[in-house]
Structure 1
Amino acid sequence: MIFASDLDRTLIYSKKAIGEAFEASELIPVELYQGEHISFMSPETARLLAELSKTALFVPVTTRTIEQYERIFYIRETFKPQYAVTSNGGNVLVNGVPDPDWQLHVNRALESSEEAGKVIEAFDRISSPDWVKSYRHSDSLFYSIILDREKMPLDQVEDFRKELAGMKWNVSVQGRKMYLVPDGVSKGAGLLYVKEQVGASRIAASGDSLLDESLLQAADYAIVPRHGEIYASYMEAGLYTFTERDGMGAAEDLIAKIAEWFALPPVDVVSPAEKTD
């Protein structure tokens, strides 16, 4: 069995995202950056995850680059994940080392999408210093853009989203970040590769952003925090199961629900992808 989970705003939270029910002083620091703890996990989340990890393989799945993922010292040192999917699926780490076979697969998959240089040229046509602060080509796979969300021109971004679809890239906006990601790179594909490597029979997954949809659709059971892009897009569609709480409380809810699901006998289940058929 595999428990595959997104990290930011799913299992771990910044001070701004923890929610009103939690005080940072009561939380477990999980990420160190430039000498400061910037992400946290609740003690109950840590306890539940430790219990679940005794019976299921915990696979962190994140849009973070390898370098950014490695900053999350608590998960690396406490849970010692054998597998992790980083770079939005662009890298699969095996005991912290990129899997070369997966890298070859991703390089072939990227051939079906427009080259990165033309994508950023298209973005530059709508970009302005008024709302775009900086961007980087993360792991030479996708673009991560820091922006002023309140000043972002929504109509232009939606038109750009349609243009990118024709280039076989997609857009995700999460807080103050925008991601431009080629179709050949996905969390779900990375997770299915891990499933094949370990011979797992069942997958439960969680995530909050539209970049997590492929991850959720690759799972037999999926649960989504009551916040973020997916909740905003599908709260009334009946496609996903949502946690009872938002903020950091969602992390506790989703692990508890997944532990309950794993305790049930295997049955024929319908994945989120099949619900849309």
Structure 2
Amino acid sequence: MTVGVFCDLDGNLIYSGRRVANPEGLVIAQANAGVPKAWMTPTAARGLQEIRERAVFVPTTTRSLEQYQRVSLPGGADQVAIIANGARLIIDGVEDSEWAQARLDPSWGASPAATVIGTFDRVLGEASWYAKSENYDSIISVSANPGQPFPDAALETVTDIATDHGYTVYLRGNKASVFPSHITKEAAAEEIRTRLGLTRTIAAGDFHHDTGIMTWADDAIQPAHGVAAPGIRQTRAHGVEAGEEIVDAFLAFLNASQ
């Protein structure tokens, strides 16, 4: 039996400085130019190494490829990964360029990112709150100026524009993430399940766009500090300690499946 473990990174397995009050004693999971930026607990790190020895571990992130490559998890380079919410796949340690190119096919009904960004700039460009819109591997980020909230009326406008162009919007803080509606983590996970012959699956995530893959999987868990997905169990702990509970849940699932 081959088990697939699909885990979102940020806010699930690894935690950035804004969620880590004191990083002393934690394992560094990301460093930019030698400066630590994200951590996990030693217990979670040890558990992850065991998971990678016993199962197909699949980091499942909305990070762009460039952002993902900054992460360094215990156990070496990932052989399989879902990146940019499913816009890009790594299989056997190599990016599947055909998969990425196929996600851009106009037959999906999503406009090119440049077209959508151009519309956002034209409609929102004069608003005092509006900072910029950027494309990260097919995901568009619409940002408010630092310290300013994302206005409710603006969210409605962004959602209307996105829907017209075949995109879906998720708001987090003062930034809206705009995803092509056909690009989902669960679609990428199903592709991996089929290719690798996975027989059992478990997933973890902490935000609205993770609900699909958690529902798709045979089992799932979400951190208590995340956006609750209906019917999915939650950790008891918040913050970096929740990562330990997520890893423990993965190991328990492995023990029950193998």
**TM-score when scaled to structure 1?**
0.82
Of residues 4, 7, 26, the one that matches 1:5 is: 7
1:101 aligns with 2:104: no
Correspondence list, 1:1-40, <5 A: 1-18=3-20, 23-40=22-39
Q: CA deviation at 1:150?
A: 4.5
1:49 aligns with 2:48: yes
Equivalent residues of 2:26, 2:39 under 8 A apart:
yes
Aligned to 1:246: 238
1:260 aligns with 2:257: no
**C-alpha separation in 1, matches of 2:241 and 2:141:** 27
**C-alpha separation in 1, matches of 2:174 and 2:182:** 24
User: Cα 1:110–1:17, aligned 2, differ >3 Å: closer, same or farther?
Assistant: farther
1:115 aligns with 2:107: no
Aligned to 2:60: 61
**C-alpha separation in 2, matches of 1:161 and 1:173:** 10
Tell me the alpha carbon deviations over residues 88-146 of structure 1, each in whole angstroms, 9 at most, x when there is no partner.
1111012442113322432337631233234224433245664343432112x121244
Equivalent residues of 1:3, 1:205 under 8 A apart:
yes
Equivalent residues of 1:109, 1:185 under 8 A apart:
no
- Note the residue ranges of structure 2 that are not aligned, 5 or more in a row: none
Aligned to 1:133: 131
Aligned to 1:155: 153
CA-based RMSD of the aligned residues comes to: 2.3
**C-alpha separation in 1, matches of 2:161 and 2:64:** 26
Aligned residue identity for 2:30: E
Aligned residue identity for 2:238: D
**C-alpha separation in 2, matches of 1:128 and 1:206:** 39
User: Cα 1:130–1:31, aligned 2, differ >3 Å: closer, same or farther?
Assistant: farther
> Matched residues, percent identical?
26
- Note the residue ranges of structure 1 that are not aligned, 5 or more in a row: 267-277
Of residues 211, 220, 234, the one that matches 2:218 is: 220
User: Cα 1:25–1:86, aligned 2, differ >3 Å: closer, same or farther?
Assistant: same
**TM-score when scaled to structure 2?**
0.88
User: Cα 1:165–1:217, aligned 2, differ >3 Å: closer, same or farther?
Assistant: farther
Greater RCO, 1 or 2 (C-alpha within 8 Å, sep 6+): 2
**C-alpha separation in 2, matches of 1:38 and 1:146:** 21
Equivalent residues of 2:139, 2:178 under 8 A apart:
yes
